[in-house]
Structure 1
Amino acid sequence: MAVAMGSASVHLAVQICCNNEFKANAAFVTGSPRFGNKPLCCPARRRFSSSATRLIPRASSATAVEDGSNGDTDTIPTPKVIIDLDSDPDATVVEITFGDRLGALLDTMNALKNLGLNVVKANVFLDSSGKHNKFAITKADTGRKVDDPEVLEAIRLTVINNLLQYHPESSSQLAMGVAFGVDPPKQQVDVDIATHISVFDDGPDRSLLLVETADRPGLLVDLVKIITDINVNVESGEFDTEGLLAKAKFHVSYKGKAIIKPLQQVLANSLRYFLRRPTTEEASF
């Protein structure tokens, strides 16, 4: 994934094993659909509230950064946050990219621990595309990877909130700047234009669902809720936050098989309908 800077890329690896145990927050781990080998379907008409994800652990310092950078540059990089359930069978991988700014590695790890999670490994590397932080995360109480959508959304918002504590100048570039930043985005994304949904066959036993839409708090929870409401299982996936947009890649199936074409159309139409109307039954904010 690293791209060489000139003749060589700069690579710094840090591996951290956390032995302390933390109790998981029950607000995040009960009654939610889950990714995994045996995903659970949501009952009909059930609506997940993502209000629990508003309680975000904050960075302990709003000004210090690990490399001493004060962030005064002409070009403000657009932060990227990737939540990956595919690349590691034993842990959920969270990757943060933010130009060449090192941000707050240890502080972000502490904030994740406050969610009842263990950071079992952390890697930091710098290449021509910027600086990357990678965290391998498991549940503190079970040692297993995180697959609960509400916890995954809490992780996403925690990381973004901490990032903006250290780099408030970037809040205008993120949709989450409205919730966490000092400056909200100067323009709003037209959801109808920004939303793109595709479904492809990915072998006989599953399909690949790609979703791109305007980002907002609670989006990951709502996407899984919409998918499972029509009895489609979410097995694994990746959720990317970049600027004003969110991009999701889900491996999905229906009764252990790839989704047939008529159901693919139903799935795409359902997602388009609800993404354009995020406050149909309960607010997702």
Structure 2
Amino acid sequence: MVEYRDQLQRTIRLAQTPKRIISLVPSQTELLYDLGLENEVMGITKFCVHPSHFRSTKNIVGGTKQVKLDKIIALAPDIILCNKEENTKEMVAELETIAPVHVSDIANIDDCIEMIQQYGTLFDRRTEASNIVQKIAFDLDDFQKFIKTRPIKKVAYFIWRKPWMVVGKDTFINYLLELNHFENVYKHKGRYPEIDLENLRSEGGGPEVVFLSSEPYPFKEDHAFEIARYVQNGKTVFVDGELFSWYGSRLTKSFEYFKDLHQRLKDNS
């Protein structure tokens, strides 16, 4: 029996390298695939959209907040992968009666790298994990040089409608906004506060740009028009929510996207 620790410093005991994995976190499901663990993944959530063929080849065991325990039991997992934000504490406790549970906790890129390395160790994919980590580290260093002289822009990042909700402090998205020299006008609020559009223009001095994320709410053009009249110069920009919120191997695509985004903003200024 070998002991490991997850990112909440909880002890996980495994008799051998897990061969039957259930992932209840979309970004971590993608990471498993990129680590070469497609055959070991037994179950995923309905929100695990990458890689796309998993939707038809893997067992769907529910969502990120509610799962079907009977389906998970039937799959006889060796380990279940969760995340502190995506899954509930109560869910983790229930799942631990079925199999060992690894819980990730991601606030920044260092946490992402730690999780990837933990997976490399847990699943005997150290070389694959190291390659992904090196790619992220290289891209991050290159991006930091790119962003160094870029001016700071005030932004608001919308994630929901009815009620209107934005990203606040202590979130991975806010961390990536700051990395991009985007000052979140709601950084003094809770993690995902509900807001009133009437107050948008005055919040934090008012955003210069409003980002409308592609997930979890599918914003459309009419929503952009709805918000634009409350924004300085009416500037709203659609952004790829996965590249602002997914961690793991998705980060290998994020930094080039961020460069393109800055160029879009510059061209439209």
TM-score by length of 2: 0.31
Which protein is richer in strand relative to its size? Answer: 1
Ranked by relative contact order (alpha carbons within 8 Å, sequence separation 6 or more), the top structure is 1
- For the pair shown, the structure with the greater C-alpha radius of gyration is 2
